[in-house]
Every structure is written in C-alpha cells, then in structure tokens.
Amino acid sequence: MIEILTLAYPWIKAAHIIFVIFWMAGLFMLPRFFVYHQEAAEGSPEATAWVEREDKLATIIMNPSMLIVWVLGLTLAYYLNLWAQPWFLVKLLFVTALSGYQGWLMAYRKKLSRGERPLSGKRLRMLNEVPGIAAAVIVILVIVRPFS
C-alpha cells in the first residue's frame, strides 16, 4: 500500500490542492449568492433562479469537492504520518470547522428556498469572511508549521 502511495503521492497532493480550490470557491460564492437571493423579491422568478443556482453550486461543486478534500487529505495524513504533529491537528480543527460552516450554509440554503430569511444581508456579508480567515490560517499552518 505504501509503495502505491509513494508513486501516487504527487498526484494525490495535486488533486487535494485542486479540490481545496474548488471547495473554497464554493464557500466564498454561496454566501454571496445568499445576499443576492435575499435582495430578490420573495416568490419572484429571480428568487427562484437563485434557489436553482444555490442548489447547483452546492450539489455539483461544494459537496463533492469537500468529500474529495477529506478523502485525499486523510490519505496524505496517513501516508505522511501527521497525526502527532501539533500544526496538523490544529489544521484538522480548522478544516473540521469549515466543514461545519458548509453544513450551516446547506441548512441556510434550505431556509432560503422555503422563503425564510432569518439573517440580514449585512450579517451574510460578514459570514462571507469566515472561509478567507480559515484559509489563511490553514495555509500558514501547512507552510510555516508552527508548534513543531
């Protein structure tokens, strides 16, 4: 198994980074879609179009990308034996938090599709900063590897 992973390592790492980019793009886009959706009149054709866009972004890009990121990331962690590295454990915490954030986004998407609008546009714009901050911390953890 290790021999196969050794040969595939650069490809696994490249695919992991590619799908992180796809996932992050979705995490940046969906809250922005929510802002535009909430600004559309409830029940209007525009609001209906936003529901369709949000569904496609979630089901075609975000959910598969997150799943692939997790599978490839855990494969890399296994291969590199990172489980005892403090920087990796903190990174894992942030990736878990981003996954939870995506879960919250999926639940909010369903509320919007039912016509519920519990958050203001301003609050949604603020929440749009979450993935950027998390991505910055994760990149620093991977590149700088503090706590080592």
Buried b (16+ CB within 10 A) or exposed e, 115-142: eebebeeeebeebbebbeebbeebeebe
* pLDDT for the residue numbered 111: 95
* pLDDT for the residue numbered 30: 97
Nearest CA to 75 out of 141, 147, 146, 13 is that of 13
Domain spans of the chain? 2-144
* pLDDT for the residue numbered 115: 92
| DSSP 8-state code for residue 60 | I
What is the mean pLDDT for each group of 10 consecutive residues in the chain (148 residues)?
86 98 97 94 94 98 98 96 96 98 97 93 92 97 92
* pLDDT for the residue numbered 41: 92
Helix (H) or strand (E) segment spanning residue 132: helix 130-144
| DSSP 8-state code for residue 147 | T
16 annotated binding-site participant? yes
